[in-house]
Amino acid sequence: MSLAAPDADLLARIERRLGPRGFTTDAQDMAPWLTDWRGRIRGSAAALLSPADVDQVADVVRIAAEARVAIVPQGGNSSMVAGATPPADGNALLLSLRRMRAIRSVSPLDNVVVAEAGVILSDLHDAVAGAGRRFPLSLAAKGSATVGGLISTNAGGTQVLRFGPMRSLVLGIEAVLPDGSRFDGLSALRKDNRGYDLRQLLAGAEGTLGIVTAASLRLVAAIGQRAVAWVGLASPADALALLRRLEEATGEAVESFEIVPADGLDLVLRHIERARQPLAGRHAWNVLIEAVAPAGAADPTEAIGQALGDAIEAGVVEDGVVAANEAQADALWLLREEMSEAERIDGMAAKHDVSVPVSAMPAFMASARTEVEQAFPGVRVLAFGHLGDGNVHFNVRPPVGVEGRPWLETQGEAVSRLVHDLTVAAGGSISAEHGIGQMKRAELERLGPASRLAALRSIKRAFDPLSLFNPGKLVALAPNSGVP
């Protein structure tokens, strides 16, 4: 059951089918796509394929499948877990969806957009804004992340609080399956109860079950007014109490509630040139809040301002500012969105993406920090992110003065095991929104449980018995067998 290397004949057939714009083996053209975003994992590929439409995808998959050659699908290549980085053996074909970037239709009446897999998230935002609608998912990598990648990783981001992760916005999917057949499931039905939901199986499958080529996505009313605020407070527990206060004061208006510790904000202010101090003083914790209302509904600014004033009086909040205009709102968002980039510039870190029940997160953040700092003296925990979803990026940086890469190589695994053990003990997940990819596969195997892994493997086997799609990611066909 081993995977083959493509021979010259096979590559020539694929090149003929895709034409010169859709095929390259040039090392320089391929280089940027062979490593993950944080530069931790290097892969190799026999060729980079860039089909222009779903027919080309299906034909290429069929040609490769006949020869038992693996395919690694790739969107914007901003995976946090090297989910789109090909294996190092160089036998796989890297298949980029980036040329497929048509918005096929926008239907304001259905509240649906049909977008091809290569559409970049910020372009999708712009396209539906033209029709008076909004696609309510956003994340820091919106300038490069693509629709296909967002679906395949079931991406989260900063609006999950109200609208859920990517899978909750997917109404239909078009995909090519590992034998080259097509799944034509684009029809955007709000209700469809014909058994197993194939769209939901493909969402979050990390390209291991099918290659998503297009999707029907849910839209909501465009934003009429938004209130963006930055507050300083003493603890994650106070932050959570504030979230519930804001919800009581504004109904469903709060869409984003993102926590940033003082040392996280310091990093952004140090490394990101445009970043400006949001409040006069330094606070142990900060929260970015966005509340929105559609045109015609009451502006949430007043309600947020009032609720924050009450929270200051109640001692829940230490200080806060509500953006007075869009430029100020963007400046506050920059402080949150550049958090990962600032951390990356600062050096290597053991990154984690954990979730626990929302109410348990403040205590988890405190106790896990203590345990990690005791077990690895000198390390610096930086936990930030989606507190309202019970999901933080519980990152661990090396002690001051210790070089990141060697530290990560010697200590990273042990640090991650401890963080993940603590997460599982708290009833949580070791991947809240980034997926498993290559980087968390061993941990998924280690932490199981076995019944869950067996079910995942059965699904993989049913779709892709030869493991031709994205080998080495998510789950192995058979445990400890060397079969990808």
Shortest spacing between CB 432 and ligand MLT, in angstroms: 9
Per DSSP, helices labelled H in 186-274 are 198-202, 236-250, 262-271
| Under rule CB under 6 A, residue 140 binds ligand MLT | yes
420 in contact with ligand MLT (CB under 6 A): no
382 binds ligand MLT (CB under 6 A): no
Q: Which residue is nearest to ligand MLT (CB)?
A: 340
Interhelix angle 404-425/361-375, rounded to 10 degrees, is 130
Q: Could you give the CA distance from residue 92 to residue 98 in angstroms, rounded to a whole number?
A: 18
423 binds ligand MLT (CB under 6 A): no
Shorter beta-carbon distance to Zn ion: residue 385 or 388: 385
Pattern 223-262, ligand MLT, x by CB under 6 A: ----------------------------------------
Within 358-397, the residues that bind Zn ion by CB under 5 A are: 385
Task: Determine contact, residues 12/6, Cβ cutoff 8 Å.
Answer: no
Asked if 332 interacts with ligand MLT (CB under 6 A), we say no
Q: Using the rule CB under 6 A, which residue among 134, 199, 393, 397 binds ligand MLT?
A: 393
Q: How many CB atoms lie within 10 A of CB 225?
A: 16
Q: Give the integer Cα–Cα distance in Å for 115 and 99.
A: 12
d(CA 393, CA 341): 13
Least gap, CB of 256 to ligand MLT (angstroms) = 11
- The one of ligand MLT, Zn ion, none whose footprint includes residue 318, by CB under 5 to 8 A per kind, is none
Using CB under 6 A, pick the residue from 339, 349, 365, 387 that binds ligand MLT: 339
Please report, as residue ranges, which positions from 429 to 468 form the binding site for ligand MLT (by CB under 6 A).
Answer: none
Q: How far apart are CA 109 and CA 459, in angstroms?
A: 36
Rounded to whole angstroms, what are the CA distances from 7 to 11, 46, 69, 91?
6, 9, 10, 10
Shortest Å, Cβ 363 to ligand MLT? 21
Which CB sits closer to Zn ion, 138 or 438? 138
Single out the residue of 340, 355, 416, 470 in contact with ligand MLT (rule: CB under 6 A): 340
Q: What is the DSSP letter of 209?
A: S
Q: By CB under 6 A, what part of segment 346-365 binds ligand MLT?
A: 353
Measured between alpha carbons, how far is residue 478 from residues 209, 439, 454 in Å? Answer: 16, 18, 9
Residue 370: CB minimum distance to Zn ion, A: 23
Q: Are the beta carbons of 75 and 97 closer than 8 angstroms?
A: yes
Residues in CB range of 216: below 8 A, 6 or more apart: 112, 113, 114, 170, 171, 172, 173, 186, 187, 188
What is the contact surface with ligand MLT in residues (CB under 6 A)? 80, 140, 339-340, 353, 385, 393
What is the contact surface with Zn ion in residues (CB under 5 A)? 385
